[in-house]
Amino acid sequence: MHKITHISMETDVLAENRHLAEHNLERLRGSSVRSVDVMGTTGAGKTSLIIALSRMLMARGLRVAAVAGDVTGQDDYDRFQAAGVRAYNLNTGKECHLDANLLDRTLDGIDLLAVDFLFVENVGNLVCPADFPLGTDKRMVVISVTEGDDMVRKHPMIFQGADIAVMNKMDLASYMGIDVERVKADYRRLSGGKELLPVSVRTGDGLEALADRLLG
Amino acid sequence: MHKITHISMETDVLAENRHLAEHNLERLRGSSVRSVDVMGTTGAGKTSLIIALSRMLMARGLRVAAVAGDVTGQDDYDRFQAAGVRAYNLNTGKECHLDANLLDRTLDGIDLLAVDFLFVENVGNLVCPADFPLGTDKRMVVISVTEGDDMVRKHPMIFQGADIAVMNKMDLASYMGIDVERVKADYRRLSGGKELLPVSVRTGDGLEALADRLLG
């Protein structure tokens, strides 16, 4: 988080965000939309994962949409659309995270009664999104085996605030020589006993279990 | 960057940082220390890259030190020390980037006359560090092939502000099926004709060329 001279102002911003997040949650639930905030490192595979999960949920009969959050551009939006996932682009301009106000304004452009499940892809960043809940049912954090085995210890706040933690690109685990058990143990300790979910979007391993968790 | 209600305050923070950065640069150059701010995604391999480059510079007779910047913990510091690189730990607490003030305070604890080259590893983040030059001779941004081929287009500011851009983990390029030429073309266009440097810390490819660039 950037240095802000007056602590009271930071508190105000976070409190106002929480208030708006509650408003978003009411709004989504009022339209029977289930939702997840997908946080994670840049390049962890958030977009590919959302596409794979969207296809699974659509195969289960759900109407899915995705909000593509990024600082600039519409690469992820284009990828969602090309993959047949209804998408909405959300650029933050310079902000390193989404916030409840940005999601609120994006929801204005979505016919929520035509959506059963909404993915909100946050800006790739393991620090700033932690402080800004959006008002989704769940928060999920995605890392990948290529990032090393110290991610949980280095970014405890975002893992503590997440309902689901996912380690992607498991097909590369042996090549990377990463100690996945160490990451799992770190997360178990930090989360009070929760299990990190290993997945591979490339092979499909773990994705059905993750889809169940999203709906659970 | 976080939402800050008063634009004037943001301007003040950035202007003060630039002033302190100039002070740091004078201080480093005054002690004949050459320096680089190593920015990049979480998990791009910044720490491994700095270790590999440090060994090369040490083999060339330079006295090297590294500042390990992270939100919390001392994993990178421990890795530097274990690899024989003199290291200094710098935790930001919650900040998602280093700033010139934090570096200034860290320099207070370093015998600069015993250092020829200083690596400063920034917090893993492709957004926030862009706005906060530290006062190093050069700024370098590190991404890896596992993050996809859209990184430059998604994060133009940090690439525009960097003197050197590096793509790591090239040994995984064919497995990942990434279009490296596309990333190179994006960077060339954005930087006014500069070349992205492909490297692999694992195989050593490209590292000597990168060391030359750091000293050039």
Confidence tier at B8 by pLDDT (50, 70, 90): low
Backbone angles phi and psi of A165, in degrees to 5: -120, 130
Between A3, A9, A127, which is nearest B99 by CB? Answer: A3
Kind and range of the H or E element at B107?
helix B100-107
Residue B6 is predicted with a pLDDT of 54
Which chain B residues touch A if contact means CB-CB below 8 Å?
A: 1-5, 9, 13, 41-44, 70-73, 75, 94-97, 99, 123-128, 143-144, 146-148, 150-151, 153-157, 169, 172, 175
Rg of chain A over Cα atoms, rounded to whole angstroms, equals 17
DSSP codes of every residue in A72-90: S--HHHHHHHHTT-EEEEE
For residue B1, is pLDDT > 80?
Answer: no
Looking at chain B, which residue has its C-alpha nearest residue A41? B42
Round to whole Å and give the CA distance between A54 and A117.
9
Residue A216 is predicted with a pLDDT of 84
Nearest-CA distance B60 → chain A (Å): 29
| Mean local confidence (pLDDT), B142-152 | 93
CB A126 within 8 A of CB A155: yes
Rg of chain B over Cα atoms, rounded to whole angstroms, equals 17
| Mean local confidence (pLDDT), B160-167 | 96
Round to whole Å and give the CA distance between B207 and A162.
38
- The half-sphere exposure of B128 on its side-chain side, counting CA atoms within 13 A, is 27
- Domain containing A188 equals 2-215
Return the SS3 of B162: coil
Nearest-CA distance B113 → chain A (Å): 31
Other CB atoms within a 10 A radius of the CB of residue A86 amount to 17
Residue A1 is predicted with a pLDDT of 45
Q: Residue B125: its chain A contacts at CB < 8 A?
A: 96, 125-127
- The CATH number linked to A116 is 3.40.50.300
Helices A100-107, A7-30: axis angle to 10 degrees equals 30
Residue B93 CB contacts under 8 Å (≥ 6 apart), including other chains:
B71, B72
Q: Give the ipTM.
A: 0.74
pTM, rounded to two decimals: 0.85
Q: Which residues of chain A have pLDDT under 70?
A: 1-9
Q: How many residues does chain B have?
A: 216
How many domains does chain B contain in total? 1
Q: Residue B43: its chain A contacts at CB < 8 A?
A: 41, 43-44, 143-144, 146-148, 151
Looking at chain B, which residue has its C-alpha nearest residue A48? B148
Asked if A169's CB is within 8 angstroms of B95's CB, the reply is no
